[in-house]
Amino acid sequence: MPETILETRDLARSFGGLRAVAGVSLAFEKGVVHAVLGPNGAGKTTLINLLSGDLPPSAGTILFQGRDITRLPVHERVALGFGRSYQKTNIFPELSCLDNCWLGAQARLPGWLHLLRPARRYAPVRDRAERALALCGLDHRADAVAGTLSHGEMRQLEIGMMLATEPELLLLDEPLAGMGVEESWRVIDLLKRLRAEHTLILIEHDMDAVFSIAGRITVMVNGAELETGSPDRIRASAAVRDAYLGHEDGGEEHAA
Ligand SMILES: Nc1ncnc2c1ncn2[C@@H]1O[C@H](COP(=O)(O)OP(=O)(O)OP(=O)(O)O)[C@@H](O)[C@H]1O
Ligand SMILES: [Mg+2]
């Protein structure tokens, strides 16, 4: 029996009169890479923001392992095992790669521990940061200043920062955005490695990447779920083709 790790019920978020997420009910299964596709403006990032706690919903419910977390703030979701990467790269450019991961690792320490000892000397944090850096493939760049990395390496580092919190559930918003082919495949390989031990919710415009990695796909249009199913089912769906895949350019502009 597949185990549902995260579930939304009639989840909605409006901005003024615009229904960015318009009543979405989805179940995300443990250990499955679940990709969310849809044209620009479909509501994908807004959905991720609701799941991560970055945005409060206008209506509806979010359940994590059956527990209602709809109103839980971001840091409490991180403590439950949520990790999140952003559509726009979100690193500290003046710090080294290892220090970036350090900041990620610290985010999961209980607050009182910060008061007792400098996190730099606290071995579990250091270990976690080093593990995350190795996992994202940047251990050879530990001392490099993050701002000097290539675009692809910055995205890897962002994933590393997220891994430093030792999350169970990864929310990834366009991890391949703006990458060249070679860089993309490096990150796809990384995601494939991560899926062995994590649940991934992945927004990505790169169809080859999505179909090579996802076990389940939801297509969103105008804030609503158009269809959810296996990659084969999504590929064969006339509704999906009409609404989205059938467009000559995939219905998309690649966000930089
Ligand atoms: N903070 C905000 N204030 C007002 N409108 C917003 C806000 N965030 C998103 N929107 C609007 O909500 C709709 C959904 O946006 P969202 O960013 O979720 O789409 P998306 O599917 O991630 O698109 P893209 O593929 O371009 O990243 C869009 O019309 C967008 O303009
Ligand atoms: Mg988006």
Nearest residue to 238 via CA among 210, 219, 215:
219
The two three-digit tokens of residue 119, written as one number = 């996190």
Task: Report which ligand 1 atom has the smallest distance to the Cα of 87.
Answer: 27
For ligand 1, atom 18, which residue shows the shortest CA distance?
43
Terminal C-alpha separation, the chain? 39
Confidence (pTM): 0.89
The two three-digit tokens of residue 128, written as one number = 């976690």
Per-residue b or e along 174-212, where b marks 16 or more CB atoms closer than 10 Å to that residue's CB:
bbbbbbeeebbbbbbebbeebbeebbbbbbbbbeebbee
* Residue-wise pLDDT tens digits, 64-103: 999 999 999 988 999 899 998 877 778 999 999 999 999 8
Q: Which residues contact 68 (CB under 8 A, 6 or more apart)?
A: 61, 62
What residue ranges define each of the domains in the chain, with the CATH number in brackets? 1-81+168-256 (3.40.50.300), 90-166 (no CATH)
Ligand 1 neighbour 236 (Cβ under 6 A):
no
Q: Which residues contact 27 (CB under 8 A, 6 or more apart)?
A: 4, 6, 7
The two three-digit tokens of residue 32, written as one number = 């499955």
Ligand 1 neighbour 20 (Cβ under 6 A):
yes
Ligand 1 neighbour 45 (Cβ under 6 A):
yes
* Residue-wise pLDDT tens digits, 206-240: 888 999 999 999 999 999 999 999 999 999 999 99
